[in-house]
A and B are shown apart, each in its own frame.
Chain A
Amino acid sequence: MTNIFGKYTQYNTIIHKCDPRIKILGLILIMVICFLPYGSNYMNQLAILAVLGVVIVSLMIIAKINFLDFFKSLKVMWFMVIFLLIINVFIPYGNNEHVMISFSNGYTLYWEGVLNTFMVVFRLILMIALTMILTSTTTPMDITYGFEWYLSPLKIFKFPTQVVAMTISLALRFIPTLLEQANRIMKAQKSRGVDYNRGFLSKKIKSITTLIVPLLVSCFSISDDLSLAMEARGYDPYGKRSRYRILKFSIYDLVSILFFIILLGAFIYLSVITNHYGVNIIETLFPLTEGVTF
């Protein structure tokens, strides 16, 4: 079983070499960029999102991400897409001009709803792509260390950041072990006649309990063993520990910081001129085209 956000794959790209702290910062910045308001002109919004899409796709190509895996991970979005479509189409908001269906009782559906849905879904796809770039270029351990670094200001308030980091890294470390365990229990129960695939919902829930209860029990026994092993090797959560992995800034990090600052600056500028001053970018850039308005 693979993680829906993609597993770490080892390559030697610039993005792989980058400091995890920078990558986390970049992820958050680009996510913010994705959700900035870009005015009310649909053509403008689509153009800006398309540019952002190109940027993210090129990042994915640089990071050598397997696009097949990416499309597979999008499968889980179907339910959300339908849900968003229903909400957006049946509850119209904003300026709606283009009628899709007009019911006899005066209730109308607008094309703008479909367009809004498309843009939200596109943004979500970009988010998944970004997360995938982070997770497939950074080991879980490095991500944990990165987060620990961002939490470090909390040390002033005596918040045990290293304990939190250790907990997260142990949780990540034991995901495959628990999956393996779950598979084993499932096979054992199947051989005893439990059917996980057929039957009504109530029956399925019943058969799932035959998986969950033993899994929980083995979870406790694993954590018991683990805590003994950690204690035996002298782990003291509040004691002073040295670090085997130390995060270091390199030239790549400087380049990526500059990249993120320029990207953020550019998109904030776009957001301000489109949203605040109502500038139509496409008309400004290509004055020869007849004002294509939507």
Chain B
Amino acid sequence: MNEALKVKNLCFNYDENKETLVNLSFEVKKGDYVTLIGHNGSGKSTLAKLLTYLITPSSGEIYVNDLLLNEENIGKIRRTLGIVFQNPDNQFIGSTVEDDIAFGLENRNIPLNDMQKLVKEYSKKVNMENYLKKEPSELSGGQKQRVAIAGILALNLKIIIFDEATSMLDPEGVEDIKHLINEMREKDPELTFISITHDIEEAYLSDYCIILNKGRIYKEGKPNEIFNEIDDIKRIGLDVPFVLKIKNALKEKNIFINDDIKTIEDLAKNICK
């Protein structure tokens, strides 16, 4: 069992005339950082809700760690899979930061002493240890989102889904959270991240990328491969990552840059060499 997530012929429609998701099939390897990109209305968020069993598929199957996602298994699956939503305000459940981080732990019936330790540990990880007693109205959007992430991380999950979790944050907040994700993945190589995003640069940096268009998988594969087909990407109105644009422009002038180079900093270093 090398797949964290297996989706087979998944279909979903909110009403009978309009199909939201059509016959999706894909696999997510353990420990991968997978991005799902697509336009508004391409069915990204619906897919996220299906993966967490917040809505049930019209047809098709989802396996999480080889366990079929259904009413019977959902309790077990929720212990391995968590999701962070887009709006930080609407997922802040506790009345203070510490209560919110503890909420998921309370649901798991974890004893008080362990909870206190975990709350301290994970609030430190997201740099919120000085805000434990603060109420949500006293926090910024980025801080609230960091609390939500701490609440999910504290549950020691194996698969974490970010449903546009960084879209309401400022660039600095986004950077912080990217660092946090990298740190978590280094520590636990089995940890699978699925990020649903508009950010084409983030998608380019991921291990595997799935592009959704009108409820179907338009393309999937390693970002280097799929973004190289520039015409296809542009046809559905998506942008091409900045680094790739430069690489291609250089290629026309017969300057070849290694495929591994994905960030602007690395590219600059490589060109200067």
Instruction: Tell me the A residues contacting B by CB distance below 8 Å.
Output: 10, 139-141, 169-170, 172-173, 176-177, 180, 222, 225-226, 228-236, 239-246
Q: Which A residues are CB-close (under 8 A) to B151?
A: 233
Does B110 lie within 8 Å of A242, measured CB to CB? yes
The answer to whether the Cβ of B198 comes within 8 Å of any Cβ in the partner chain is no
Q: Does B60 contact A (CB under 8 A)?
A: no
Contact: B91 with A244, CB < 8 Å?
no
Contact-residue size bin, chain B (C-beta under 8 Å from the other chain): 35 or more
What is the CA–CA distance of A177 and B155 in the complex, to the nearest angstrom?
26
A226 and B112 contacting across the interface, CB-CB below 8 Å: no
Query: Which among B63-71, B99-107, B168-176, B219-227 touches the partner chain?
Result: B99-107
Report the minimum CB–CB distance from A10 to chain B (whole Å): 8
**B112 and A244: CB pair below 8 A?**
yes
CB closest residue in chain B, given A177 = B89
A176: B residues at CB distance < 8 A: 135-137
Collect the chain A residues with CB atoms within 8 Å of residue B85's CB: 225, 228-229, 232
Chain A residue numbers with a CB within 8 Å of B105 are 242, 244
* Whole-angstrom CA separation of A10 from B142 in the bound complex: 25
Question: A261 to B268, alpha carbons, bound, how many Å?
Answer: 77
**Residue A234 contacts which of B79, B90, B94, B95 (CB distance < 8 angstroms)?**
B79
A173-B92 Cα distance, complex, nearest whole Å: 9
The answer to whether B99 touches A244 (Cβ under 8 A) is yes
Residue from the set A226, A239, A246 with the largest chain B CB neighbour count within 10 Å: A226
The contact sample of 28 A-B pairs, CB cut-off 8 A, is A139-B95, A172-B95, A173-B92, A176-B137, A226-B91, A228-B54, A229-B85, A231-B54, A232-B78, A232-B85, A233-B82, A233-B103, A233-B152, A235-B103, A235-B107, A240-B109, A242-B105, A242-B108, A242-B109, A242-B111, A242-B115, A243-B106, A244-B99, A244-B105, A244-B106, A244-B115, A244-B119, A245-B99
| Residues B94 and A173 in contact, CB atoms below 8 Å apart | yes
A227: nearest chain-B partner, CB-CB = B54
CA distance A177 to B137 in the complex (A): 7
| A234 B93 Cβ-Cβ under 8 A | no
Is B32 close to A, CB under 8 A?
A: no
Interface membership of B185, Cβ < 8 A: no
Q: Give bound CA distance, A243 to B111, whole Å.
A: 8
Q: Most B CB atoms within 10 A — which of A226, A235, A242, A243?
A: A242
Given contacts A173-B92, A225-B90, A229-B91, 13 further A-B contacts (CB under 8 A): A141-B94, A141-B99, A176-B136, A176-B137, A177-B137, A229-B148, A233-B103, A234-B78, A234-B104, A236-B107, A242-B109, A242-B112, A245-B99
Which residue of chain A is the closest to B90 with respect to CB atoms? A225
Interchain nearest-CB distance for B61 vs A (Å): 20
A140 CA to B94 CA in the complex, in Å?
11
User: Contact: A169 with B112, CB < 8 Å?
Assistant: no
Whether A241 pairs with B106 at a CB distance below 8 angstroms is: yes
